[in-house]
Amino acid sequence: MDPTEYHHVVGALQYCTISQPGIAYAVNQLCQFMHSPREPHWVVAKRVLRYLKGTIDYGLYFSLDDINLHAYCDSDWARNPDDRRSTTGYGIFIGPNLITWIAKKQPIVSKSRTEIEYRNIAIVTADLYWIMMLIKELGVQLYLHQ
């Protein structure tokens, strides 16, 4: 089977994760089979498309009640039995508003749970710093809590 159409569909689904974070995990799993998709992968991709059709009015909304910056992160050490790589993820919020998130498999195999947690914290810290500098450049005053 020619994987070109699968590439287009899954690529479009990746774009949809910007406003529909609920499909991020399923799309991440679909992306892992880009080189050789099979029939079960198509079935899941079509299910995600049907889900999007049914939730077309759903989305992310932004409120300006609170402009405090918060971040949450977690790691799943060596959970994948095939390659023993860890999955990490985080979400960064301005007040109650999710502004960025990520969930991905790490490119390396970590030797311990502590190593993967520190690696994840370093990634989140770098993104937080970038967001803080962007917000500062936009002229918005943030209040940081320690």
User: Residue ranges per domain, the chain?
Assistant: 4-54, 69-137
Task: Give the mean model confidence (pLDDT) for residues 135-146.
Answer: 74
Sheet strand arrangement including 97-105:
69-76, 87-94, 97-105
Tokens of 20: 């529909």
User: Is residue 58's pLDDT more than 90?
Assistant: no
Contact 116, 95 (CB under 8 A): no
For 79-104, what is each residue's pLDDT tens digit? Answer: 666 777 777 889 998 888 888 888 77
Task: Convert 101-124 to b/e letters by CB count within 10 Å (16 or more is b).
Answer: bbbeebeeebeeeebbbebbeebb
Percent of the chain clearing pLDDT 90 (strictly above)? 33
CA atoms within a 13 Å half-sphere pointing along the CA-CB vector of 50:
6
Confidence of residue 115 (pLDDT cuts 50, 70, 90): confident
pLDDT tens per residue, range 23-38: 988 999 999 999 889 9
Determine if the pTM surpasses 0.75: no
